[in-house]
């Protein structure tokens, strides 16, 4: 399991160095495989905004961008990224910057036009292997801010090799409790706020497999704003835990699982026919997962279903036809206790 040291210290922050914290984890029986930097080694990269863009006169795939970095004058950057556009905020490696791999940024000419730096993707900053285009920053990112400060990249990723008998530490909260006990500290759990219902929209839930699922809760949430994206801070915490940001609903459920150890799942409400049922599968039935893979079920599979078809393999993965997408407007958020022996 990968955890961010900064995230762990939000829960419990003993007055020890990073090296001593790793030693404490090992002392607690949580074997640390390795400790990695949260990002590649780079400097002089700032938040920039593209304020003007036109096609390169001599290259169809290149754009000539005017970029604001918070200085008196705009910088001209020649860029070939497909998602470059006016209003986009992205990381800009300034002249003199050094990127991972000791790649030094110099003033250059591309097809005869001067380029005063380089707009960057995830790959060029060593954040991930996504090289599909520029790393798109949030609209509220402050132009001119150092990217390391913007993402709080002065952090370490601690990779812990957990054993089955320490399932309590498959989440940040569990690890924080151990560290707190060792250092005789209290954990600083996030504030829990009750969100009152504002609609009368509910779903009936029938649990046929009580032993395998003694408790199942769900909540209907309508009018999801699909123009919103997952906040940068949450995307970064997920990335440092080895999870790619997918969709705000999916990201929230993954975040809760990582922090609190509570598996959750979001269904597209309009894919559910009638009530929700929790029951065991029948041998030989087929089910298509979110990733498009078809599996053959048997009596050992605990399933979430509606009145017509299966929606998910409980605690494992949702179905292709019930998942949230960019077109989802209303969701059903699931939180349940599934018997560990059933879903392992």
**288: CATH:** 3.50.40.10
User: Does 262 lie in the same domain as 125?
Assistant: no
Coil, helix or strand for 20?
Answer: helix
d(CA 317, CA 289): 7
Would you state the pLDDT for residue 127?
87
Do the domain assignments include residue 188? no
Question: Looking at the 3D structure of the chain, how many domains does it have?
Answer: 3
User: Does 107 lie in the same domain as 32?
Assistant: no
Would you state the pLDDT for residue 128?
82
- 3-state helix, strand, coil split of the chain in percent (to 5) is 20, 35, 45
pLDDT at 130 over 90: no
C-beta neighbour count of 101 within 10 angstroms: 11
Would you state the pLDDT for residue 325?
86
User: Does 31 lie in the same domain as 56?
Assistant: no
Do the domain assignments include residue 189? no
User: Does 210 lie in the same domain as 173?
Assistant: no
User: Does 284 lie in the same domain as 252?
Assistant: yes
Do the domain assignments include residue 91? yes
CA distances from 125 to 60, 66, 75, 100 (A): 26, 21, 20, 6
- Higher pLDDT: 284 or 202? It is 284
Q: How confident is the model at residue 110 (pLDDT cuts 50, 70, 90)?
A: confident
Q: How confident is the model at residue 131 (pLDDT cuts 50, 70, 90)?
A: confident
Show Cβ contacts of residue 74 under 8 Å, excluding neighbours closer than 6 positions: 51, 52, 66, 67, 68
Do the domain assignments include residue 47? yes
User: Does 227 lie in the same domain as 252?
Assistant: yes
pLDDT at 246 over 80: yes
Identify the CATH number of the domain in which residue 64 sits.
Answer: 2.40.50.140
User: Does 169 lie in the same domain as 28?
Assistant: yes
Please say whether the beta carbons of 157 and 35 come within 8 A: yes
Do the domain assignments include residue 212? yes
pLDDT in tens, 21-33: 999 999 999 999 9
Q: How confident is the model at residue 202 (pLDDT cuts 50, 70, 90)?
A: confident
Q: What would the mean pLDDT of 100-123 be, rounded to a whole number?
A: 92
pLDDT at 252 over 80: yes
User: Does 117 lie in the same domain as 10?
Assistant: no
Q: What would the mean pLDDT of 129-140 be, rounded to a whole number?
A: 88
d(CA 143, CA 71): 9
pLDDT at 258 over 90: yes
pLDDT in tens, 51-98: 999 999 988 889 999 999 999 999 999 999 999 999 999 999 999 999
pLDDT at 126 over 90: no
Do the domain assignments include residue 194? no
pLDDT at 287 over 90: yes
Q: What's the whole-model pTM score?
A: 0.85
pLDDT at 344 over 80: no
User: Does 323 lie in the same domain as 213?
Assistant: yes
User: Does 133 lie in the same domain as 237?
Assistant: no
**What would the two tokens of residue 297 be?**
């079920």
Q: What would the mean pLDDT of 15-20 be, rounded to a whole number?
A: 97
Would you state the pLDDT for residue 240?
95
Do the domain assignments include residue 55? yes
User: Does 18 lie in the same domain as 107?
Assistant: no
Show Cβ contacts of residue 69 under 8 Å, excluding neighbours closer than 6 positions: 46, 47, 48, 75, 92, 94, 143, 144
Identify the CATH number of the domain in which residue 28 sits.
Answer: 3.30.56.10
Do the domain assignments include residue 187? no
pLDDT at 12 over 90: yes
User: Does 209 lie in the same domain as 315?
Assistant: yes
Mean pLDDT of the chain: 94
What range does the domain containing 228 cover? 205-343
């Amino acid at each position: 399991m990968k955890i961010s040291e900064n995230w762990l210290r939000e829960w419990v922050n003993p007055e020890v160095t990073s090296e001593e914290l790793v030693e404490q984890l090992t002392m607690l029986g949580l074997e640390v495989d390795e400790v990695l930097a949260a990002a590649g080694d780079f400097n002089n990269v700032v938040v920039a905004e593209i304020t003007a863009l036109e096609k390169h006169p001599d290259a169809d795939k290149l754009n000539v961008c005017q970029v604001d970095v918070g200085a008196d004058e705009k910088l001209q950057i020649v860029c070939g990224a497909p998602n470059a556009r006016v209003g986009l905020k992205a990381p800009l490696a300034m002249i003199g910057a050094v990127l991972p791999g000791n790649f030094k940024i110099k003033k250059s000419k591309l097809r005869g036009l001067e380029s005063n730096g380089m707009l960057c993707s995830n790959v060029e900053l060593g954040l991930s292997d996504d090289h599909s285009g520029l790393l798109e920053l949030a609209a509220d990112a402050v132009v001119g801010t150092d990217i390391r400060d913007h993402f709080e990249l002065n952090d370490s990723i601690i990779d812990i090799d957990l054993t089955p008998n320490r399932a309590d530490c498959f989440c940040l909260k569990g690890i924080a409790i151990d560290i707190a006990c060792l250092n005789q500290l209290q954990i600083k759990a996030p504030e829990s706020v009750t969100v009152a219902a504002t609609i009368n929209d509910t779903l009936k839930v029938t649990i046929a497999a009580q032993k395998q699922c003694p408790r199942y809760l769900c909540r209907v949430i309508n009018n999801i704003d699909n123009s919103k994206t997952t906040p940068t801070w949450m995307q970064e915490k997920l990335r440092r835990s080895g999870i790619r940001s997918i969709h705000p609903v999916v990201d929230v459920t993954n975040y809760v699982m990582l922090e609190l150890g509570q598996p959750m799942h979001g269904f597209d409400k309009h894919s559910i026919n009638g009530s929700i049922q929790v029951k065991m599968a029948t041998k030989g039935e087929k089910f298509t997962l979110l990733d498009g893979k078809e599996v053959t079920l048997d009596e050992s599979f605990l399933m979430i279903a509606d009145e017509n078809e299966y929606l998910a393999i409980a605690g494992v993965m949702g179905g292709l036809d019930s998942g949230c997408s960019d077109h989802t407007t209303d969701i059903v958020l699931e939180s349940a206790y599934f018997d560990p022996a059933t879903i392992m």
